[in-house]
Amino acid sequence: MISPKIPKITKPRTIVKWVVILVAFIIISNPTLIPFLSPETKQALSETWKSIFGDVGHLTSSLTINWATLFRVIAIILLMVVITKISAYIIEKLKPKTGKGKSIQTLMASALTYITTIITIFWVLSAVGVNVSTLVAGAGIITLAISFGAQSLIEDVVTGIFLVFEDQFNVGDYIEVDGFRGVVDHIGIRVTTVKGMGSNYKILNNSSIKNILNRSQTASIATTSVSVSYKEDVRHVEQVLNELFPKIREMYPEVFIEDPKNLGIEELGDSGVVFKIAATINEKDLFTAPRIMNREIKIAFDDAGIEIPFPQVVVHQEA
């Protein structure tokens, strides 16, 4: 069973990054706060800003920066960190039994970080005196957000939600995307992580996931081939195989959904007669099943005295 990965809680450096972005935005939106510029330059920047995004300078005109505000901001950040950690702990302790439940769990865990970060930012802005309602409604702010790629972010978020609730695939499903085959390890609010057979991870933006082949929706077929010597009686070989197949399923019920089947003689090879064997299995056992069948067939042939040929070279020496 695969344990959904819970995204890490927002790190302090992430908060610092947002603080830097906030300070930069405040300075850009109100050039009069830049100390080293001349009054003429400040006025020119202010007029340029107004012509592009409208008059948003009043957003920062009511800023209240003092020790009381500083303590209030710190309290807000600490409170949100605590709330985030508690919420993440609760989500992590959930034990969904279905793939869809696990998908919803990972989606909630991924969304938690984004939601709490956004709430923290706007709460801090409100605490220092910024008119948050005007900030959200300002057309200039929306334009700025889109210019920084928010449109792609929205596409990822919306697609991630639809992926879960439309049951295209869930955590624990085996899928194939862009030639990469693996198990869905995590469905996040922005990205989906697929773990390959070699423990390699492919990270996909949700909006870029297309042409998915979900191999967990139906059973898979595992095949193998085995050769026997030309001197062997084909009917005897088929009898040994037919008696063996129910025993294989009985020994490995967690791998084989049905008894393996003899598909017949695939080839009359250079050194032997080649039989094709197939078995219905779950996708996760695609590579395990052929190894099991090869082992059990070899043991059965040894017990029955059936020869598995190997390439031989005959050398004729002149007298």
Residue pLDDT, tens place only, 181-190 = 888 887 877 7
120 and 73 in contact (C-beta within 8 Å)?
A: no
Q: What share of the chain in percent tops pLDDT 70?
A: 69
**What does the pLDDT look like over 111-160, one tens digit per residue?**
787 788 888 888 887 777 766 666 555 545 555 555 555 566 677 777 77
Q: What is the pLDDT of residue 5?
A: 45
Closest of 313, 221, 239, 251 to residue 275, by C-alpha: 239
Sheet of 261-268, strand order? 220-228, 273-281, 261-268
Q: Regarding predicted confidence, which is higher, 79 or 8?
A: 79
Q: Regarding predicted confidence, which is higher, 300 or 18?
A: 300
pLDDT at 1 over 60: no
Distance of CA 158 to the CA centre of its chain: 15
Other CB atoms within 10 A of residue 168 CB: 15
Q: What is the pLDDT of residue 228?
A: 93
117 and 14 in contact (C-beta within 8 Å)?
A: yes
The 3-state DSSP class for residue 25 equals: helix
Q: What share of the chain in percent tops pLDDT 90?
A: 19
Inter-CA distances, 110 with 74, 164, 210, 243, 284, Å: 24, 13, 21, 52, 26
Report how far residue 287's alpha carbon sits from residue 296's, in angstroms, rounded to the nearest whole number: 15
Domains of the chain: 12-148 (1.10.287), 165-214 (2.30.30.60), 220-304 (3.30.70.100)
- Give the angle subtended at the CA of 73 by the CAs of 71 and 74, to the nearest 5°: 65
Inter-CA distances, 187 with 103, 149, 150, 184, 293, Å: 6, 21, 20, 7, 35
pTM as predicted: 0.48
Least confident of 73-82, 123-132, 144-153, 305-314: 144-153
Query: What's the whole-number mean pLDDT along residues 202-207?
Result: 81
**What six digits make up the tokens of 137?**
């409604």
pLDDT at 317 over 90: no
